[in-house]
Amino acid sequence: MNTTEIRQKINKYLDGLTSERLHMVADFLAYLEDKESEAATQELLDIPGFIESFEKGQKDIAQGRVKNWRTIRSDV
């Protein structure tokens, strides 16, 4: 089943729910999205040296030490 079919199936189910149940579904979807975001964040935090590199990047940006991406990748 592809994404479009899954979405159509979900919408069919949603059409039959009361507003109370729809609220529960919305809360559950928000929970799932939050968990997915947490997993992605943890994946980044697991990269050795990521936090230090990220903090250095933030300082570079704050101090204007940046380059236009077009000067680095002209093929994009």
Q: Is 64 left (phi over 0), alpha (psi -120 to 50) or beta?
A: left
Q: What is the mean pLDDT of each run of 10 residues along the chain (76 residues)?
A: 94 96 97 94 95 96 90 76
pLDDT at 76: 65
Query: What phi and psi, each to the nearest 5 degrees, are found at residue 63?
Result: -95, 5
Gap between the Cα atoms of 75 and 58, Å rounded: 26
pLDDT at 70: 83
Query: What phi and psi, each to the nearest 5 degrees, are found at residue 21?
Result: -70, -35
pLDDT at 46: 96
> pLDDT by residue (tens digit) across 45-59?
999 999 999 999 999
Gap between the Cα atoms of 11 and 5, Å rounded: 10
Cα torsion angle, 36, 51, 69, 74, sign: negative
| Per-domain residue ranges of the chain | 3-72
